[in-house]
Structures are given as C-alpha cells and as structure tokens.
Amino acid sequence: MASIEPKNVTPIMFGLVLSLFLANLDQTIVATCLPAIARDLDGWDLLPWIVSSYLVTSTATTPIYGRLSDIYGRRPMLLASIALFVAASALCALAPTMPALIAARALQGAGGGGLRAISQIVIADIIPPRFRGKYQGWMSGTFLVSTALGPVLGGFFAEHVTWQWAFWINLPLGAIAFFVIDRQLRKLTLPTRSVKVDWIGALCIVAFAAPLMIGISQVEQQGGWLNLVVMTPLLAGLVAGVVLVWWELRAPEPMLPMRLFSNNVYTLGNVALAAPSMTMTAMIIIIPLYYQVVLNWSADAAGPRLIALTAGMSIGSFIVGSAITRTGRARVYPIVAGFVAVAVCLLIARVGLGTSLVFDLLSILALGAALGCQINPMLVIVPNGLEIRDIGAGVSGMTFFRSLAGAFGVAVFTTFLVDRLAAGAALVPGHEKLGANLGVGMLRRDMDKLFDASANAAFDVVRQSAFSHVFVMAAGLTIAGVVALAAMQEKPLRANSGLL
C-alpha cells in the first residue's frame, strides 16, 4: 500500500472518529426517543425491536465487512457503509409505521456494522501496534462524548422538535464523514489479487449471529433463558454456527478463516476482551438500575452517575494508550487493571452505592478506568498477533465477538439479578402480591403501597443483597479474563504496520 504521511494521520483519524461517532450516537439518541416514537406510531408492543433490529444486523454484518474490505479495499467498503447508514437514517425518519421503522433500523444496522468494523481495521492498517494505543483512546473519547451527548439531544428532539430529528441529524454528519473518508483514504490502494467472495460463508455468519442476537434480546423480556421464545433462536444459531465452521474449513477463500482460532493470541485475546466487554455493557444498565431499584431514585438523578463510568473508561483508555506507546508493552496493563476491577467490584458489593457521593463517584470512576485499561490494550494486542493477510478478517471478527459478548453480558447479568431478587423475595411473607414473576415484581416502584413497613424493609435487604451478588459475579468474570491473559503468548509490538 501507499505510505501515509504523518500529517495525514490526524485527518484520517478525524474521519474514522466521526464514522464511529455516527454509530455510537445513534444508539443513545434513539433510546431516549423510544417513548415518543411509540406514542406517535402507536407501537408499544413492537418497541424493543427498534433497538434489537439494529443490533442484530450490525453484529451479523461486522465480520462480512472485514472480509469484503480485504477483497475490495477499505475505502470503498467504508464509503458504502456510510452511504447505507445515512440512506437508512432517512428511511427511519420517513417511516409511517412501526414495522417500516423496524425494517429501516435493520438496514441502518447493516451500515452501522461496517462503520464499526472498518474503522478499527483502518487503524490497524495505518497505525503500527507500538503506537496504536493512544489512537484507540480517541475512540474511547468518542464513546464518552456520544454517550453523554446522545441522551441530551434525544430528549431535546423528543420534547421540543420531533423524534425524526434523531435520524435526520445523521445526514449532515454522514456527509462530512463521507467527504473526509473519500478524500483521505485514497492513499490506501485497492487490493491487486482477485479473490472469489465466499457468499455462502457470509450467509452462514448471518444465520449464526442473527438468531443468537434475537434470542439474547428476548431473555429479559421473557424472564429467563428457559423459554421457547429464547431457546428456539439460540439453538437455531448454534446449529448455524456448526454449519459455519464446517463450511469455512472447506472454503478456498473463507469469509471467517478458521485458521485464526489456531492462533493463541487471537483466541485467548478474544476471551480476555469478552470479559470486560460483558461487564462494561452490563454496568451501563446495572448501575442506573441500582439507584432506581435499591435507592428509589428517579432516572434523572441516577443518570449522571453513569457519566463517571464512561468518563473513567475514556480516562483509562488514554492513560494506558500512552503507556503502551512509551513502553512498547501491552499485556501487563489489562492484567493489573483486571485486579483493580476485581477489588472495586468487591468493594462496591461490600459497601453498596448511595451512602456517599464521593465514594460513588470515585468507585464508579475507578471501575470505568479499569475497564478502559483492559479493553484498549486488547484492541492492540489481538491485531498485533495476526498475520498481515488476516488483519481485515481478524479485526472485524474481534469486533463481532466483542458485540456478541456485550449483548450476552446484558442478558446474563440482568437474568442473574432477577433470579437473585426472586430467590430472596420468596422468603418474605406476603410475596405473592408481587405476581407470578417475583424477580420482575421486585423492580416495581410502588411496593411501599403494597406492603407494610416491615415487609418493605425485608425487601430492601433482598434488593441490596441481589445487586451485591451481581458485582461479585462481575469480579469473577474479570478473573476469568485475567486467567486468559496470563495464558496468552505475548508478542513484541510491531513498530511498523506491515501494510504501508
């Protein structure tokens, strides 16, 4: 490939950051508009699918984009992703019914999968692993800004304009990203080797990922895993996964090369990345829920505490990225950060949140920083362990498994929480008033009207205990990630990308 001059790295990164900003902002801004959308389109029963349809297609298409970018080039595929995302955003804004909006969201997710995957691949292309950590910090900063800005913009649009502007805003942002990417990535030349596209492999990937995501998205709504609505798509996805492996082992140019998994760094690196990804995504749900369920705070009062988590993640990513660049070592940081995360989770489980503002902010900030120090190095370590020919497929596969881990983490943690709530509530006399599903009933905000002071005090202890167990579970999951890191081979970080 043609060389990228240092002065051009910043403009390229601006385009990549803007591409990721589009994808990240979309999730947070749309989530805030969901009630307004449901009221306007009269579709409360289909409301969860506005989020799920996007997650399913964005996750399923991620590894496909990576392989196609190996074949057709990064720039054309990233431009196609942006164009698809923007066009689908317009269709979302124009959707006259809830089914039409869900279909447009699925199409938008197909574009969003490319934004995430190819942006990470281009970074692996142009930034040597030795210096990549600080640039990954830019991406974490993008996540922080979009997480903080999205709910504000979404609330403003829903209350003072119309919810359609949550999608219209993607048009000017997408146009800028398209222009910058088109101009700056022309230095990356197109592949010269003609390769046959493994479309059967692509179909198998979609058949594997889509049912899994659908099943996982139904866990919370159905109240657990042992339900036909959950188990049927999960089993279908697992069967498709077996077919995927069988086919990719035989395909001459596989969409997801199975040889990747014989690589110690790639396999264990994905395990080590999955653990903090599961915890991070789950904590975005669990921490606000803690304040609302245990302390009975309003959503407005609980929300700002979440900023400490995302801010900590961004700070941790920047710090560890700079340390990797200075020292040339990466594996030691997520190992140390893992032990810090374990200590913080156990401390929160023991002390609880809500008794001290200082403790809450410091502990949540520390947890976020530890997660950032775990995730950011893995985005350097895993690509560094790949052969140059596998960069596209490997990085997109890593992004794919990270997305699955995040969705799985939310399902596992929330189901575990509901189960613990149900087990504790069953020991309190009069719990029958909570309904058939005790765990879900414990999330009600009007329990003080159903029970006397003695029963409510007992339920308070149950809720506190259940959330404490969730943080203990997070500590155990983190230890599993540290074990995977300890078993992983450490390879010196390349001082050149190998592609430029």
- Over the stretch 91-117, which tens digit does the pLDDT of each residue have? 999 999 999 999 999 999 999 888 888
Q: How many C-beta atoms surround the C-beta of residue 333 within 10 A?
A: 25
Of the spans 32-46, 73-87, 131-145, which averages the highest pLDDT? 73-87
Phi–psi pair at 3, nearest 5 degrees: -75, 150
Percent of the chain with pLDDT over 70: 90
Whether 359 and 485 share a structural domain: yes
CATH of residue 375's domain is: 1.20.1250.20
- The pLDDT assigned to 500 comes to 41
Whether 229 and 359 share a structural domain: no
pTM: 0.80
- Over the stretch 15-27, which tens digit does the pLDDT of each residue have? 888 888 888 888 7
Q: How far apart are CA 154 and CA 25, in angstroms?
A: 10
Whether 344 and 455 share a structural domain: yes
Asked whether the predicted pLDDT for residue 144 surpasses 70, the reply is: no
Of the spans 57-61, 248-252, 395-399, 469-473, which averages the highest pLDDT? 469-473
Quick one: average pLDDT of 151-177? 85
Tell which of 207, 224, 254 closes a domain. 254
Whether 27 and 98 share a structural domain: yes
Quick one: average pLDDT of 264-271? 91
- Answer yes or no: are the C-beta atoms of 122 and 141 closer than 8 Å: no
- Over the stretch 293-310, which tens digit does the pLDDT of each residue have? 788 776 556 666 777 888
| Pick from 463, 448, 455: nearest CA to 429 | 455
Alpha carbon separation from 465 to 272, 329, 418 (Å, rounded): 28, 40, 12
Whether 321 and 399 share a structural domain: yes
Whether 85 and 167 share a structural domain: yes
Whether 456 and 482 share a structural domain: yes
pLDDT higher at 235 or 315: 235
Phi–psi pair at 193, nearest 5 degrees: -85, 130
Whether 59 and 99 share a structural domain: yes
Residue range of the domain that includes 38:
1-189
- Over the stretch 193-211, which tens digit does the pLDDT of each residue have? 666 778 898 899 888 888 8
Q: How far apart are CA 53 and CA 55, in angstroms?
A: 6
